[in-house]
Structure 1
């Protein structure tokens, strides 16, 4: 069975109603990105940062996977599917995908501020005073700007073994995630699904651009790969 590796970003979750939070002026919900998504921001104003992610977590619990998520599950009948996502939601898992690697953490998990490996499920608000077993304040299990991306090496290993690569709903402009396409084997077929593609046909060998949103774009992908 061929190995189909899928890189997903905010575009696949947008159709479920997940806010991207990033406005055209670069602000997230009116905040500078480093105020709410950096270790320095957390140190300066932990209540603001916790509230920002509490709002995102509450919203996540009200939405559902969309057709694009379910289409990737359908592809598991025909391929060994591995998903590498920049998203911090759990919509791939809720749809039924079995192999999901989260590059930037998971919103429904928390961790000790003293131990990156001390992670646990967390579906309610995090407030100051909530502590882990080691007695340290807990924080969202999210990779903030300036922090290492612990799953990047795992993602590289997955991409290196891909027979087919699919990119959905991400501009591939955010590093280190954007570097993953550099690790595929020569002449591997690449399918790029986005309503406003940031790549051109000659960007990669064997590239097919599907200029569409994730749901109908993955319908077309299934037609190309299976039908």
Structure 2
């Protein structure tokens, strides 16, 4: 089976009704959204930060995977598919994708503030002050905030380097280091970009599908049939 690597961004989740930071117009309840997604914000007002992510989590409970998510999961019938996502939601998994790497963390998980290896699955949308890890420290969202390192990047680079085909879906390729992943494909690797806004990829083997994810993945399947 050929190794198909999918790099997905907020555009695909937006089609399931999830708001992106851009959708919020930069503001959330009169706060700059970047100000509720930084280590400094956590130190200054952890209750506000928890409330922000509780709202995101509550929204996720009501969201469902769309045709784009489901179409990617279905590709596992013909390819060894690995999804690398910039999204913190679990819609890829809920659609049936079995290999998903989250670059920016996971909304449905919390982690210890004193031991980053202590990570817990959340079964509900609310995380509160006073919710503690087994070592007695406050739990925080398992999210990579602005200004923090992206620990999954080395793993993601290794996955992209092994790709026989790379697909970019629903991302502007403007957020680093995630955007740099397209530079790690082997020479000659076919790249498909599914996005109505056509983010530029400087590679001679790029095919652009200028559609939203749900429609674009259907077209992608037809293109991939020619390669398989």
Aligned partner of residue 61 in structure 1, secondary structure: helix
Aligned partner of residue 16 in structure 1, secondary structure: coil
Residues 148-227 of structure 1 aligned to structure 2 (within 5 Å): 148-199=149-200, 203-226=202-225
Residues of 2 paired with 1:8 and 1:30: CA distance? 29
Aligned residues between the structures = 225
2:87 aligned residue: 87
Q: 1:15 to 1:25 in 2, by over 3 A?
A: closer
In structure 1, the gaps of 5 or more residues are none
Contact 1:70–1:95 (8 Å) recurs in 2: yes
1:56 aligned residue: 56
Contact 2:107–2:142 (8 Å) recurs in 1: yes
Contact 1:4–1:82 (8 Å) recurs in 2: yes
TM-score if structure 2 supplies the norm length? Answer: 0.95
Aligned partner of residue 27 in structure 2, secondary structure: coil
Contact 1:161–1:184 (8 Å) recurs in 2: yes
In structure 2, the gaps of 5 or more residues are none
CA-atom RMSD in angstroms: 1.3
Contact 2:133–2:139 (8 Å) recurs in 1: yes
Contact 2:38–2:145 (8 Å) recurs in 1: yes
Residues of 2 paired with 1:163 and 1:23: CA distance? 34
1:46 aligned residue: 46
CA deviation after TM superposition for structure 1 residue 22, in Å: 2.5
Residues of 2 paired with 1:146 and 1:21: CA distance? 16
1:149-184 Cα shifts (integer Å, max 9, x gaps): 111111000000000000000011101101101111
Aligned partner of residue 159 in structure 1, secondary structure: helix
Contact 1:22–1:29 (8 Å) recurs in 2: no
TM-score if structure 1 supplies the norm length? Answer: 0.95
Larger displacement relative to structure 2 (42-51 or 30-39): 30-39
Residues of 2 paired with 1:29 and 1:198: CA distance? 30
Q: 1:11 to 1:46 in 2, by over 3 A?
A: same
Residues of 2 paired with 1:33 and 1:180: CA distance? 25
Larger displacement relative to structure 2 (21-30 or 101-110): 21-30
